[in-house]
Amino acid sequence: MHLAASRTRSVRRARGVAALCTAVALGAAPLVLGAAPASAASKFLNSANVPNYPAVLENSTSRTLYVLSTEKGAKLHCTKSACLKLWHPLVVKSSVKTVSLGTGVKGKIGFVKRSATTKQVTFNTWPLYTFLGDNGPNETNGEAVADTGGVWHLVHAAAKSAGATPFAPILNKISIPSYPNILANNQTRSLYILSIEKGASISCTGGCLSIWPPLLVPSGTTKIAFAAGVKGTIGFVTRGSMEQVTFNSYPVYTYTGDNGPGDSFGEGVVADGGTWTLANANATTATDTPVAPVSSGGGW
């Protein structure tokens, strides 16, 4: 049974933003702030709901803040001019001891030295930055940009640990025996596609959904976080009051027959009018999306 009304909206990778921005005439160095303002309306760090990303960390002017995946523990890697022109450290004067926090900001605030007179604010040990590619408040163009030896991510304002601080990508790439570079969800559970659903034409309904749970996001979502290595076109198709994520026009699912992360027991299952296969995270076309195994066998 096909949905009468389906829609697919492409969400292109943000990697090209960095290359684009380097061609722009770049502005002056980041503003160095003194003690944070006490205004309840605009604290130094705030929690904000932006399109597709609830409760992200922002600065006092509603500019979205980011962390670099390799900088956990305040280990600075964004130090060269090419990086600093795009990613502006959130800095304060060396004399500042604390900053004001808005409602919903739960993490631990710290600092790491940036110069003889300034230090960068950290959140659960992650140094914070704004992104030149964001043209105004509440924009998220820096999410999932691969640059400076890592990947840039939005920040969970309510996170209380370093591990929970970066937004976990909804789509990831993992490699398991016989199946390199497969698509997985944020719990590293393998994702599958049904051969007859190419073009976001839904056939898995009713009892099928109890075996193959669809990967769902809230209605109205137009953009999701995804990891480096996920190269395909991400879209969405209406599934009741939710949206199902699609990859190169294929709706994606997990499989209840998989016992845990990295299992692949759904590969090659013939059911529901077609064949279920793992999805190739490297694929950029629908034709290449069903994974090609290196050797026979499924699971671990």
pLDDT tens digit string along 82-91?
999 999 999 9
Evaluate if residue 29 carries a pLDDT over 50. no
Torsion, Cα 183 287 141 158, to 10 degrees, reads: -20
Neighbours of 43 (CB within 10 A): 20
At residue 293, the pLDDT reads 65
Instruction: Give me the amino acid identity at 255.
Output: Y
Burial of 213 (0-12, 13-18, 19+ CB in 10 A): middle
Q: How many CA atoms lie within 13 A of 283 on its CB side?
A: 22
Evaluate if residue 200 carries a pLDDT over 60. yes
Distance of CA 68 to the CA centre of its chain: 12
Evaluate if residue 35 carries a pLDDT over 80. no
Identify any residues that bridge with 290 across adjacent strands, giving them in sequence order: 279
Task: Determine the average pLDDT of the residues in 243-268.
Answer: 96
At residue 210, the pLDDT reads 97
Task: Determine the average pLDDT of the residues in 257-286.
Answer: 96
CA gyration radius, the chain: 21
Evaluate if residue 4 carries a pLDDT over 50. no
Evaluate if residue 150 carries a pLDDT over 60. yes
Evaluate if residue 298 carries a pLDDT over 50. no
What's the mean per-residue pLDDT of the chain?
A: 86
Task: Determine the average pLDDT of the residues in 3-19.
Answer: 38
Residue 159 tokens read as 């996170």
> Confidence class of residue 177 from pLDDT cuts 50, 70 and 90?
confident
Of 151, 156, 171, the closest CA to residue 49 belongs to: 156
Task: Determine the average pLDDT of the residues in 249-277.
Answer: 96
Task: Determine the average pLDDT of the residues in 105-121.
Answer: 97
Evaluate if residue 292 carries a pLDDT over 60. yes
Percent of the chain with pLDDT over 90: 71
At residue 44, the pLDDT reads 97
Task: Determine the average pLDDT of the residues in 198-208.
Answer: 97
Evaluate if residue 51 carries a pLDDT over 90. no
Instruction: Give me the amino acid identity at 164.
Output: A
